[in-house]
């Protein structure tokens, strides 16, 4: 399944076109609909940080009203809601895993932030939700990827709705952490979700859309441009009004160095760009820096949760 996901991401990069004229309404949805949080209970025992197995409603496609562009939305988004003891209100962090991962991938850093006094929510992307999801070649696959990625951004925006609905969360102090593919999606989210005040993007690359539209066959340019309008992460991140931390590896063999540089360069200020002597995965120092940066951005400096691990 990881191979299938890689093929899908390759198609995405090969298909991004004409995104300069983005239709930002593709990420709209009806926020008045219930979040419909379902809690299956706490999955860990005898630990001061509670990890709840939860899910919430994925918004049905609204977008710009073109039904053929929104065929794969809806359903439920699984996640882990990590809650420290106490009444709050706590700041919150949304975590999105990399390609081929799931909500478990960033659960450890999520618990470390909870031990410092933040609520954390790790979520599954659409591929993790449906292990049988396959992306075809050609325009059919490109169209499906459009639907999937629009759904993913809407799911993340709905995660903000969920957190703001919780009485123990301070809805004005929300951050986002994305790794690899999650960082690429986080760049798009940053340009379309002003309620998130800080983004930590780890090992995420950016590719200029024009390079791919120039390479596309003439017969496919119009359809590809229409399918991927608004999904150029370099264009979308430039629209953001938030704080950024970029954490990248000098020996990353998964994302080309130039793509790492491009995404960080495209982001507006204020931002910090930190390079580490590591590969695609963040090393211990990167994780320590992440925790310190998030704590500072969210105003966490008080007591930690007694008996809980606060870092690597």
Distance CA 146, CA 144 (A): 5
Is residue 80 within 8 Å of residue 113, measured between CB atoms?
Answer: no
Under 8 Å between Cβ of 252 and 280: yes
Q: Give the C-alpha separation, 57 to 134, whole Å.
A: 22
Please, is 215 exposed, middle or buried when counting C-beta atoms within 10 Å of its C-beta (0-12, 13-18, 19+)?
exposed
**276, 282 in Cβ contact below 8 A?**
yes
What would the pLDDT profile of 160-190 be if each residue is shown by its tens digit?
A: 999 999 999 999 999 999 999 999 999 999 9
- pLDDT range class, residue 124, cuts 50, 70, 90: very high
pLDDT in tens, 237-269: 999 999 999 999 999 999 999 999 999 999 999
Please compute, for residue 27, the number of CA atoms within 13 A of its CA located in the half-sphere on the CB side. Answer: 24
Triad 157, 158, 159: Cα angle to 5°? 90
Distance CA 188, CA 134 (A): 23
**Do 249 and 203 form a contact (C-beta atoms < 8 A)?**
yes
Pairing of strands 50-57, 76-83: antiparallel
Buried b / exposed e over 144-183, threshold 16 CB at 10 Å, is bbbbbbbbbbbbbbbbbbbbbebeebbeebbbbbbbbbbb
Give pLDDT tens digits for 263-303. 999 999 999 999 999 999 999 999 999 999 999 999 998 78
pLDDT for position 74: 67
- Looking at the chain, the whole-number percentage of residues with pLDDT higher than 70 is 86
- The neighbour count for residue 5, using CB atoms within 10 Å, is 21
- Model confidence pLDDT, tens digit, residues 210-234: 666 676 788 878 877 777 778 889 9
Q: Are 101 and 122 in contact (CB under 8 A)?
A: no
3-state secondary structure of 125: coil
DSSP notation for 237-256? HTT--SEEEEEEETT-SSS-
Nearest partner of 228 among 213, 211, 246, judged by Cα? 213
């Amino acid at each position: 399944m990881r191979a299938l996901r890689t093929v899908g991401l390759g198609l995405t990069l090969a298909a991004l076109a004409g995104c300069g004229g983005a239709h930002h309404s593709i990420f709209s949805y009806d926020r008045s609909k219930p979040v419909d949080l379902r809690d299956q209970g706490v999955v860990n025992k005898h630990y001061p940080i509670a990890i709840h197995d939860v899910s919430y409603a994925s918004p049905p496609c609204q977008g710009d009203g073109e039904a053929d562009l929104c065929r794969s939305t809806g359903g439920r988004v699984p996640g882990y809601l990590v809650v420290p003891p106490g009444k709050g209100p706590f700041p919150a962090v949304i975590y999105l895993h990399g390609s081929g991962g799931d909500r478990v991938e960033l659960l450890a850093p999520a618990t470390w932030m909870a031990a410092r006094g933040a609520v954390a929510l790790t979520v599954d992307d659409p591929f993790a939700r449906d292990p049988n999801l396959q992306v075809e070649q050609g325009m059919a696959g490109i169209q499906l990827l459009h639907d999937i990625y629009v759904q993913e951004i809407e799911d993340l925006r709905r995660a903000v709705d969920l957190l703001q609905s919780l009485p123990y969360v301070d809805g004005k102090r929300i951050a986002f952490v994305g790794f690899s593919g999650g960082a690429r999606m986080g760049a798009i989210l940053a340009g379309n979700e002003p309620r998130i005040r800080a983004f930590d993007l780890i090992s995420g690359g950016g590719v200029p859309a024009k390079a791919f539209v120039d390479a596309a066959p003439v017969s496919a340019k119009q359809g590809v441009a229409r399918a991927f309008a608004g999904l150029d992460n370099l264009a979308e991140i430039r629209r953001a009004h938030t704080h950024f931390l970029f954490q990248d590896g000098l020996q990353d063999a998964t994302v080309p160095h130039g793509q790492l540089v491009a995404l960080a360069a495209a982001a507006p200020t204020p931002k910090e760009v930190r390079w580490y002597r590591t590969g695609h995965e963040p090393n211990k120092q990167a994780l320590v820096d992440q925790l310190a940066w998030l704590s500072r951005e969210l105003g966490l400096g008080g007591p930690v949760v007694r008996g809980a691990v606060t870092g690597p």
